[in-house]
Amino acid sequence: MTPLADVRVLDASRVLAGPFCGQLLGDLGAEVIKVERPGSGDETRGWGPPFDGAYSAYYLSCNRNKQAITLDLSQPGGVQLFQALVRKSDVLLENFRAQSADKLGLSPEKLLAQNPRLIVCSISGFGRTGPWSDLPGYDFAIQALSGLMAITGPSEGPPSKVGVAVTDVLTGLYAATAVLACLHARAQSGHGYTIDLALLDCAIAAQVNVVQAFLTSGAMPARQGNAHLQIVPYQAFATADEWLILAVGNDGQWQHFCQAADRLDLAHDARFTTNAQRVNERTTLIPMLEALLHTRTYADWHARLEKAGVPHAPVLDYSKLFALAQVSERGMKVTVRDPAGKEVDLAGSPFHIHGATLPTATMPPALGEHTAMVLRDVLGLDDLAIQRLRDEKAI
C-alpha cells in the first residue's frame, strides 16, 4: 500500500509551485486530479521548446502521476462540478487570485463550508494578507524581491538569479510539507485546515544561514560567487584542465587537504588553523589555493583528495550526470509511455521509503484525458450526463 493511497488531491493550480506539490503527493501514492481550462490548459503546456511530441519539457517536469480533467469555471456548470469534486476530495491545491476565488464562490472559507474535512492549500506570490496580497507573483520577481539575487552571482558584476525557478520549487516543497502535516492533524482533530503559502515568505525562509547572518550582524552579506559566506575553502577552483569543487567543511578536513596537496606549511600556518581564521584571511588564502589547484589535473586532485577523505566534486553537465551509475541506480531517470505508446524520459522521484510501496511513474496526462473517467468514477455521472456537460461547455 502506498503512503497516501487513501488521499484524493484536487490540483487546481497552474505553472510550477502548486503542480510540483501535486506531483510530490502523487509520487507518494495520492490520487491527484489536475483541473485545467478547456482548450488551453496549464500555461506550461506551451512553454517550449523543447517539446516531446505535444508535451513541453516544462509541463512534463511537474505533472507525472496525475489524472487530468477540464472544467470551465466561468460556466455555472463548471463551478458546480468543481464544488462536487471538492466534496469528494481530501486536499485542494489552488493558486487562484483571491478576488477571482471570492467572485466564483471558491474561497477557502466557502469550500471548507462544503467539505469541513478539506485541506485547502492556497499558493500565491505574497500570501492572503498584507498590502501586496492581491499582486501576482512570478519566480524571477520573487528571487529579486527576496534578497536571493542580491547574494547570488560573482562578487563583481550584476546580481544573478538561480538557474531554475527555485522559489516555485521551494514553495512546492513547503506546500507538500504543510499538506502532510494537516492530514496528520486532521486524523486527530477531525476537521479541515486552510494553508496560506507565499512564494516570498518561502524564499526568505529558505535562505537560512545567509539571511540569518544579516539578522545577526545587521550587515548585508556580500555576494560570494561560487564561494561560501561562512566556510573557507568551500568553492570552485580551476585545475589544470577542469573545474573542481572543494568543500572543506571542518578543520580536520583542512589538515587532510594540506597533506594531500603536499603543503604542510599551510597546515602549520597559524593564520589558517581554524575555519573562523580562514574566513577572516580569505583574501590571503584563496589566491594561494587558486595557484596551487591549478598545478594539477582534476584526475590527479581527485585521486589525492579521495584517498585523503576530502569532500570534492567535478562540475557536470546533464549528459555526464545521467551517465553516472549512481544516478541510474537511484532511478533518477525513468521511462514512461505516452497515450500513443511512445517512450518518454522523465526525471525520477527522489523518494525511497523502505516498508512502503510507491507508485510506478506515469506519463503526465494529456489535456482533459481523464475527464469522463473522473466524472463517472468520482461523481457517479453517466454518459448522458457527461455529454450534456460537454454540450453546455462546462467541461
Q: What is the pLDDT of residues 204-221, one digit of tens each?
A: 999 999 999 999 999 999
Whole-model pTM: value is 0.91
Report the C-alpha gap between 100 and 338 in whole angstroms: 34
Region 133-141 average pLDDT: 91
Give domain 8-206+325-391's CATH architecture: 3-Layer(aba) Sandwich (3.40)
Domain ranges of the chain: 8-206+325-391, 234-314
pLDDT at 156 over 90: no
Region 97-121 average pLDDT: 90
Give the CA dihedral 48, 51, 54, 60, nearest 10 degrees: -90
pLDDT of residue 28: 97
For domain 234-314, give the CATH number: 3.30.1540.10
pLDDT at 100 over 90: no
Among the ranges given (103-112, 159-168, 178-187), the one the predictor scored with the smallest mean pLDDT: 103-112
Report the C-alpha gap between 93 and 175 in whole angstroms: 9
Characterize the bridge pairing of strands 193-198 and 91-94.
unpaired
371-380, Cβ contacts within 8 angstroms, sequence gap of 24 or more:
371/68, 371/69, 371/70, 371/395, 373/67, 374/33, 374/67, 374/69, 374/85, 375/69, 375/81, 378/8, 378/33, 378/85, 378/88, 379/81, 379/84, 379/85, 379/88
pLDDT of residue 377: 95
pLDDT at 98 over 90: no
Name the average pLDDT for the chain.
95
Listed residue (84, 91, 48, 39) closest to 66, CA to CA = 91
Residues designated catalytic: 168
